[in-house]
Amino acid sequence: MKSEPFFSERAAGNAMAPLRVRRRSLQRRYRDETRALKLLAERLPGRPTPDDIHDLRVTARRVQVMRRLLPKDVRRSQASVGYDLALKSALKSTSQLRDIDTLMDTLKMHRANLPPELLVNLENQRSDFAARAKAASSVISDSPAPDLDPSTVKGKKLSRRLRKQAKRHGREASQLVGEVLSDESKVEELHALRKEAKKLRYLHELAEKSPNVLPTLTHWQDSLGAIHDLDVAMAYLERSDFGPKQVAIRELRKVRHQRYLEFVRDYRANFKRAPGVGVLPFIGPSGPSVPV
């Protein structure tokens, strides 16, 4: 079955038409998420758990996505610029802690093939990163989120910006899918695809009617995240000076290969269930059909 040309106007229109967001709905979500983020930052313990960091980062990302839908004049106010910088700072300060948590989770599954001192060393590193994350969380708790005045946002333009951003990230994801479906060595591209799927998921979550693609995006994000975690773990072991590690690396590579094959099979199965549209907009059965 031949898919419609990649990113044709009709395909784009059909894929994006369901995405609508009401300004009152966005105001409520924005208020709830910014309040939740402030509480998460204020209550972050001195030794935050992986779940603590995950919840803070996911909430911060959702707030960022909503703020990017606002008109430029709203986003460029002094209060908005200051708050956006606080969001970026919080995400940057917690990224290393998040990375080491996922690395430890992956390596613990293969601890039998690893020297004990490796995980002990990671635990010590985690303590240092946790202290920094706790100190940096005050940036969010001390930065009041600017109120969202519905009168400054027009519903039609809001939905138009939502579709425009979903369309852009859908195009990026489509191009990346075409690169990774037949080549599992594309480490950076697989990671980039995961990030695009995450952005699309957060955008689709804002829609008034939950699109059918949302559960698939969430599943893709998890699948691609598992592949990325294995890539990070293998790279860490390759760089490390700890004793014998080749057995663990071989085991991780084997698991990573299986995860990759599962992702490819899942993608193709989803296309067959929705022929002509694909899992993401503009993707055909074997990846994007790029116009000549």
Task: Catalogue all structural domains in the chain, each as residue range(s) with its CATH number.
Answer: 16-273 (1.40.20.10)
What tens-digit pLDDT sequence spans the chain (292 residues)? Answer: 333 333 233 434 444 456 888 888 899 999 999 999 999 999 999 889 999 999 999 999 999 999 999 888 888 888 899 999 999 988 998 998 999 999 999 998 888 888 888 888 899 989 888 888 888 788 888 888 998 877 777 878 899 999 999 999 999 998 999 899 989 999 999 999 999 999 999 999 999 887 778 888 899 999 999 999 999 999 999 988 876 788 889 999 999 999 999 999 988 887 655 543 444 443 433 333 332 2
At 139, give phi and psi (nearest 5°).
-60, -40
| Alpha helices per DSSP H over the chain | 9-16, 23-42, 50-67, 72-75, 78-108, 116-136, 138-141, 155-180, 187-205, 214-239, 246-273
Contact call for residues 74 and 201 (beta carbons, < 8 A): no
